[in-house]
Chains A and B, each alone.
Chain A
Amino acid sequence: MTRQKRSHHKLKRAVAPYLYLSPSLLIIGLLMLLPMATVIAYSFQNSAVLRRDPSFAGLKHYQAIFDDPVFWASLWHTLYFTCMSVVFHMTIGMVFALMLNSDRINPRLRNVLRVLYILPWLFTAVIIAVIWRLLLEPNGVVNSILMQIGIIGSKVEWFSSPQTALHAVTFANIWAGYPLFMVSLLAGLQGIPKDFYEAADIDGAKAYQKLIFITIPQLMPIIISISLLDFIWTMQVFPLIWITTGGGPIYSTEVLSTYTYKLAFSSYNLSQASASAVVILLISLGLTLFYIRYQKAR
């Protein structure tokens, strides 16, 4: 083989992987990177989209949203909604997974529970929103039951009262999201070697000690991975909040996604909406990097 031929062969081998990757790279570029870059560009323009010749605005739109108290309220609501959702998704998911993995429950009952517990996962966000709106409306079933058993004295406007609305939407989201944890943790539980528990039994360990020293450490990689993913996904929840409360009453359930939507499609301020979207992107990106680093470290 001549020298020229050899270098040509080397080049071909070096280029080949990129050629194989090029369809995916093209699709990612067109469907993800290009829209992201466009939104970032819009956030630095005046009258983005609405004018054919938008002028450069610098950081003006970022300044405007940071000066807006509703933005900070939205950020706080987003954090509350997300943290509470993730914590309760994990707790409920763990309890149900342990229940479904337990030999103490009749296998038939376990199968029935398995179907029941996974039900919320089958509904779309719109259906979940409608279900909870009907259940929690002032004349709904929840108020009726709570009044009958004497927990509340009068009808509570769960979604319409500024005091309860954020807790109510968070509750609906918790109900909708725990099956992801439950299924993942159940798979993890079934992968823990029985020897660990047998050894613990010989040492006289109690149930809670086995949970703390065997089950949870064994499940920790799954817990951290799913929690991070859940955090990223929950932070971007839009339809559930939009349909149940529309961000109200009085901004009490305004989160970053509804805040951005209103800027874009109610105020037609697409420049500020883009700036707000970039802020969400940066937060999500931070969490994603954390997730990737964690996965690499494993």
Chain B
Amino acid sequence: MTFRIKPAMLKIAAAAWLLGATGAMADTTLEFTQWWEPELPAGSLRSIMDEFEAANPGIKVTLVSGPYATTRDQISVGAATGTLSDVVGLDGAWVNNLNAQNALADMNPMMDASKFDKAQVADIIKVDGKAVMFPVASFVYPVFVNLDLAAQAGVTKLPSTRAEFLEAAKKMTQADKNQYGWVLPLSLQTPSGVQNDMMSWVWASGQSMMASGKPALEGKPVVDMLSFVKSLNDAGTISPGIATKTEQEKVEEFVNDRVGMMIDSLAHVNLIRKRNPKLNFDLIPVPVVEGYTGKRGLPYASWGIGISAASKHQEEAWKLVQYLMSEKVNAKLVSLANAFPGNVNAKPDFVTSDKAFGKAFEIFKTGYLANEFTGLPVAEDLMTQFDVQAQKMLAGEQSPEQAASTAQKGWMAKF
């Protein structure tokens, strides 16, 4: 028996192949590298991407997900080799280096071309005038207060100034019972304590550690902050083990009623409740210097987003960025992440259903996001240098002025 292919069959097959091939060619596949997917409920980020694909026929999104540290290394190498994904999840601490490598696209022309409403974005991170990152979700750092410890210590009014904070910390400290007023994690393993637990005091009072784009650590704001931290330490109100304490240990001490107050990420609220359901705590803004009545800067960490300068699909990438920054999608994403929105009009659902988050949202709305490490060169290295000087000061080896001066020299070398 012989098998003969009829010309008509061949024609149909060729037409089908052509259709399929052109269909496939019409699809643009965007690669989106981030560390968010593992930190979100399983499948939730993929589901948002599916909705984006449905709303934008012809664009497909491939998620490249990994833990934070792996993503950071992957992005560094991708920037060097020109293989950075089309859309990248960013931490503010990385953007300066990536910009120096010309790895990030300037989103200004894209915003102009699409008439994007810039006012809806909580913060646009710019380096050398280029808009390189939007914070999609922000994790703010208020002060957590253990209300039971405060009541037992006779602290009736929660502190709103530094002097009140020092007094409250003194009252809450009972070293013989392993109970302290405040906790300060300055481990060199993760020097983010400098940003979250030290510089946050400066930003809260509307002050700055910079002047004209350069470090100003010898200025009054930073020296005053260092003196204030030293006074807390001298008064014995800080939980011991500062130099090797990590953020996780800080949270553990708070959870276990061992410290009265800590500055921490709002992202930890659920964790704290899970670890100690009976813990009675409240959230307050970081106290300010005496007499300050202006808007308070809120320290924050963020999930940022940017577009690769090497991407061949910048137009499509911009559509994805716009989509994630849009009011509804942004609200949905930050609700899943227990974070505050990058779009000022978005309102996450947990702020109405949860009292603590609701209060934090009020603090968020009345203040402004402040993290001066965002966009600085080798931000982690700067924190490490400051950390070492702060440790020396707390060990009694130098004064706040000397600590600030030495850190300033080290920082200037990096600028």
Contact = CB atoms under 8 A, between A and B. Distances in A.
Interface of A: 49-52, 133, 137-139, 155, 157, 159-162, 165, 242-251, 262, 265-268
Contact of B241 (A49, A137, A243, A246): A137
Contacts of B189: 242-243, 245-247
Given A157-B241, A246-B189, A267 B381 contact: yes
Contacts of A159: 241, 243-244
Contacts of A162: 243, 395
Given A155-B240, A245-B189, A250-B395, 4 more contacts: A157-B241, A246-B190, A248-B244, A267-B378
Interface in B209-237: none
Contacts of B244: 133, 159-160, 165, 244-246, 248-249
A268 B79 CA distance: 13
A248 B101 contact: no
Nearest to A258: B188
Interface stretch (B54-62, B262-270, B384-392): B384-392
B240 A138 contact: yes
Nearest to A242: B189
Nearest to B69: A265
Nearest to B246: A246
Contact of B81 (A52, A160, A247): A52
- Helix, strand, loop or mixed for chain A's interface? loop
A246 B378 contact: no
Interface residues of B, number: 32
Contacts of B378: 266-268
Contacts of A242: 189
Given A157-B241, A159-B241, A52 B391 contact: no
Contacts of A133: 244
A139 B241 CA distance: 9
Contacts of A161: 243, 395
Contacts of B387: 248
Task: Return the 8 tightest CB-CB contacts between A and B, nearest first.
Answer: A246-B189, A249-B243, A246-B188, A248-B188, A138-B240, A160-B243, A267-B381, A160-B241
A147 to B, nearest CB: 12
Contacts of B79: 50
Nearest to A140: B241
B241 A50 contact: no
Interface in B230-260: 240-245, 258
Contact of B242 (A49, A155, A160): A160
12 contacts: A49-B76, A50-B97, A52-B81, A139-B240, A160-B241, A245-B243, A250-B388, A250-B392, A267-B378, A268-B76, A268-B97, A268-B381
